[in-house]
Structures are given as structure tokens and as C-alpha cells.
Chain A
Amino acid sequence: MTNVLDVRDFSVEFRTRSGIVKALDRVAFTVAPGETLALVGESGSGKSVTAYALLGLLDDAGRITGGSAMLEGVELTTASPATLSAIRGKRAAMIFQNPRAALNPIRSVGQQIGDVLRRHAGLSARAAAAGAVEMLRAVGIPDPARRAAAYPFELSGGMCQRVMIAIAVATRPALLIADEPTTGLDVTTQAVVMDIMGRLAAETGMATILITHDLALAAERAGRIAVMHAGHIVEDAATATLLANPRHPYTRRLLAATPTAAGDLGDLRSIPGSLPDLRRADLAPCRFAARCDRRLPACDQPLVWRDIAPHHRIACGNPA
């Protein structure tokens, strides 16, 4: 099956007063219809920048410096703003962290869902209002006809996130990017919201990119996991493979630092050092090298991504 999204050698830089930040370097991944790919990593690893850059939402300081990103055959990196704005919300939609901040506080949630339907599906105001109620029903909001008139402040965080999902999937996009969709929600609400996203993806064949810092959430909800560190995808494999047989030292470190439902504090290991300064001109080819206990002299050679097994790609000269 052809991929919904095919990203290759995708690089992004930000110009700042203190230098050029090489935020993404040769990021590559694909997402197939119905597939959920999780982008995981710590803050500053470039997960969100990837999403924003793909959808043309970077601020003025940021620009795509290379590579390609094909969404259903359309090249996003060179697309005009008009093309991108026709794609955004229609073929590729995004869910943001903190739904209450992302929703418009002074318009009812029904109107906000209706906006998407009018803009991208060309519905009349009346049809859009009816469609909005349908969408609220689809994301499991009880009494949708009444709730359509509610404002975001009248709804709980979990309800607001469901409204965001309703806005995102109203036009049946081919790709949904969910940026930390459940951060700040209770685990019980998180489970319900993730269930809804999973069900909608299964019903419509929508591809999903799940951006999260929670490895366990990714393990539970994604078929494939791509681990990011300092703007590189360091390892990309099927979830079961990545958990059972992580090969990149950073992935292993990340797993060893994550508390689980078993084990003791003494079993957990922190990751020494911190993310490298991405403004430095002499940034090491492997951005994890300074924190890595498997470093070899060869690690100073240019970084290459290779498949060490079918569908298991890593960027490491000395994999574990």
C-alpha cells in the first residue's frame, strides 16, 4: 500500500540572535494508511517541530533547509502557502496539547467544528451545524445537540480534547498529527481519548502520528515507534521490536529511565549529560555521542542511517 506520508532527509533550522539552531537533521519516516506512528523523545528532541514544519506552521525564524515530505503525492516542502492552507485541516489535521488553549474561547464548540465543515467540505451553515452535532456524537460526547452550544470553558479538559478531535477528523483527513494529545489529562480520560482516536483511525483508515514523551503510551497505542534525540530519529522500529530489542544506546537509556508498573527505583538509571547545544558549528555528527557509553572513534564519522533488520532503522555506529 502506498504511504500517506513519506518524509525523507527532512531538515529544519531556526535563525536566532545567538546562532542557527539545527533543529531537525535528515529526519525520515513513512506512515501508511491506518497506521499509528509514535514520535517519542524528551523535550527539545524535535518531535513538535517535525509536526509544525510538515504542516507549514513554523514561525518566521524557522525554515525547511532540505529534504522532502510527500503527503498523498503532494510535496509539502515546496508547496505554496495557499496549497498548504487547503491541505491543512482537510487532508492533514492536527490536535494540539492543552485543548482549552487551542480552542477559541469565545465561540461555541459547535461553531468551531462547523467552521471546518464549511471551509473544507463546502457545507452550508445549516448543514455544518448538523454535521458538528454528528461529529460530537462520533467522539462520544453525551447529549451532543446541547453540548454543541457550549463554550470551551464549560467543558472538562477531556471533553475539550474530544472537541479538538472532532474538529480534526470532521473532514476525514488522510493524516492526523496528535501532538501530546493527552498531556495534562487524567489517565482515565487519557484512555478514553486514545480509544476514540484509535477507533476513528480504524474506521476511516486515517494514518496517525502520535507525538508523546510517554514511551508506555506509545507502546500501547502505536504500531511503530520512532525515537528522537536532538533533532535526529535515532531508532525506528515496530513497537514490539523496539521494546524487546532496542539497538540504539539512547533508546535503551530512555527505557531504563522510565518507571514501570514493576521494578524498583534502584533499577532506574538516569541519562547522563543533556541535549547538545544545537547552535554549535562543531556539533558532533552523532548528537548522542557525548552522552553515550558505547562511543567509538568511528562515531566521529558522518552519521548514517541503516536498516539493521527489516523495518528496523537506526543511526548508530556501535549498536547494542
Chain B
Amino acid sequence: MIGNDPVPPALQGPMLLDVAELSKRFPLGKKGFFSGRTPSMVHAVDDVSLTLARGETLGLVGESGCGKSTLVRLLTRLTDPTTGSIRFGTRELSAIPARDFARDPDRARIQTVFQDAGESINPRFTAADAIADPLRQMKGMTGVALRQKVEEAARLCGLPLELLNRFPHQLSGGQRARVGIARAIGPRPDLLVLDEPTAALDVSVQVTILQLLVSLRESLGISYVFVSHDLNVVRLLCDRVVVMYLGRVVEVGPARAVFDNPLHPYTRGLVAAVPRFDGLRDDALRLVGDPKSPIDPDPNACRFHGRCPVGVARCGTEMPALRKFAGGREAACHFAEG
């Protein structure tokens, strides 16, 4: 069967994913436990709200350390949020401990394609084993049915069946990427999280993988959360994009609008830093310095304050809220003008 399993009533509705005020804080050591002091906290994800419609592709961009990976781990329920809600269809997932969700029937509906399949696939598994593993674990499939499902997933991902008995090191980068994708779509997820799926690939192969992702989205009706460093790739694949900075969402909007005309000064700096064929852009937008520390950040200061080319005193005393602008756009800056 091609296409999703019938969607149970609990999952119907326009929004597949509705995340509200989601935060994840990691304590730094256990110091101060008996002295009564609260330990320092790393604010990895701070007050993030976002939605994902059925069949939509949402891009997630930002520098390393901005909380993309933690947010992805929260969405895929591999880790527990500190506060906030994650609504998947009509079901609230944030209260289910990650350990329990691992055995939940809805586990199969959220899948991940990890960065660099050469590293993330068990080197002792053949391609067939790798694709079969989640089906065995989550759907309890065996025997002929399993074999058929594996071959179907491989076929959907353009992976020749004669490669199924090969080990990862016997496959090319593009073929490994296809195994990683086949493995994730095997259980027919509703939500597929793609963590830099093409970062390890050459441009010539990257194109074919991006085309594959587009065709799978159309034929299977999967929604994607697409994490990438490469803004040009995000622009090609994503309907909307979320820009994160130090754990917070600073800008949201249709991908092309955001990259062509960024509202937030951080997005402007990020876009300006992407190398272009038409030569160097002016230095005025160059972001210098490093992000502030994510440990116990000032809750009343804009996280970008200090590195921001615009920043004034107000930015150090008043955290800008995410404000709405025309064209379905949002930005968290006192000075953003739509």
C-alpha cells in the first residue's frame, strides 16, 4: 500500500503539530542542592511556539547552539520538555515521558532522518536490516510482510533492490541518504523530522535527494520539519521557516519572504553571510562576535542584544515579544517593521 495508514479520528484537523510555550532547561550539575540554591540552568529552548499544518514543510534555521537540535528532540519526544505543550493532532504529547512514548502506538507517526546516514546507520546492518528495524520494533512486522514493506520503502526512495544486502560502507553517499530516508518513511509517519539530511552530500547528489523529498511529500502527504544550515536549501524545500537565536524564535514566516526581506536584524545578518555568486555583500550587516551564554540568560534582555547592529538600551531591559506582521510573518524585535 502506498500512502499513509488510515488516520485515526484523533489525528484529524488542519494542524498536525501545535507547539505552545515550549521550554527545555538543563541544570548545570547538582551544586547547591543542599545549600538551598537553585543550580544554574542552560536555557536550550525558551518559550517556543510554532505550528505545522498537514503536508507543510517547516524549516528550522539558526547557528549551532541556538537550540535547533534540542527543539527537534522535544518534537520527536526523545527528551522531556521542562514546560509547555506539544499537541500532535488532538493529542497532547508533552506530558508523556519520553521513556513511555518509545512504546506508544503513535511513536511510529513521528520519524527522523538523521544527519549523515553513514554515521547514523548501524554499520553492521545491511540496508535491508536498517530499513526493517523500525518496522519490526514499532509495527511488529515479520517475514514476508516485512520483506515486502522494506522493498516498497526502498522503491519509493529510488534505492535499487539489489543494494539492499549491502552494508553502509559499500554504498555511496547518495545511496546511504536514501537508506536513511527509506528507514524513516517505512512506518509511514505523519511527521518527518529531517536533520541536515544533505549536509554530507555533494551538490550533484543533493539535488536528487531534495527532489526525492519533494516527491515523497506529495505522494505520501507527510509533513516535514527541515533543519539545515544551508539557507538556500531551506528556501527551496520549505513553505515556512522558523529562525532561532539562543533558544528563542526570532522570526517566522514564508521562507522566501523571510530570506528576501528579513524583518529581524539577526535574520538579516544570517542571510547576508550566505555566500553568493554575485560577489561579496556590504560589511554593514556582518555579524561579529559570538552569541551570549545560554546559562541563566537575563529574562528581560533581548538575547541578541550586544551582538545586534540595531540594539539600544531598551533591548537590554525589555525582551521583545514575537509580533505579527502582514503576510503571515512574525518577528521578535522592537524595531521590526513589516
Contacts and interface: CB of A to CB of B under 8 A. Distances in A.
A265 B172 contact: no
Contact of B290 (A156, A216, A257): A156
Nearest to B290: A156
Contacts of B229: 186-187
A188 B273 contact: yes
A259 B275 contact: no
Contacts of B12: none
B204 A253 contact: yes
B286 A192 contact: yes
A188 B273 CA distance: 5
A215 B259 CA distance: 20
Contacts of A259: 203, 206, 230, 232-233, 235-236
B64 A186 contact: yes
Contact of A192 (B203, B211, B272, B288): B288
B277 interface: yes
A220 interface: yes
Given A188-B269, A271-B204, A214 B172 contact: no
A199 to B, nearest CB: 11
A265 B232 contact: no
Contacts of B231: 187, 261
B259 A188 contact: no
B20 interface: no
- Say whether chain A's binding surface is mostly helix, strand, loop, or mixed: helix
Nearest to A214: B275
Contacts of A254: 203-204
A260 B276 CA distance: 7
A257 B203 contact: yes
Contacts of B237: 265
B119 interface: no
Nearest to A264: B236
B98 interface: no
Nearest to A189: B63
Contacts of A191: 272-273, 286-287
Which of B172, B203, B211 has the most chain A CB atoms inside 10 A of its CB? B203
Contacts of B211: 265, 270
Interface in A252-287: 253-254, 257-261, 264-265, 268-271, 274
Contact of B204 (A214, A261, A270): A270
Interface in A176-214: 186-192, 195, 213-214
A205 to B, nearest CB: 20
A217 interface: yes
B165 interface: no
A219 interface: yes
A217 B275 contact: yes
Interface in B249-289: 259, 269-270, 272-277, 279-280, 283, 286-288
B202 A213 contact: yes
15 contacts: A42-B203, A187-B231, A188-B270, A191-B272, A195-B286, A215-B203, A219-B276, A219-B277, A220-B275, A220-B279, A221-B280, A254-B203, A257-B204, A259-B235, A270-B208
Closest 4 CB pairs of A and B: A271-B204, A216-B275, A259-B232, A42-B202
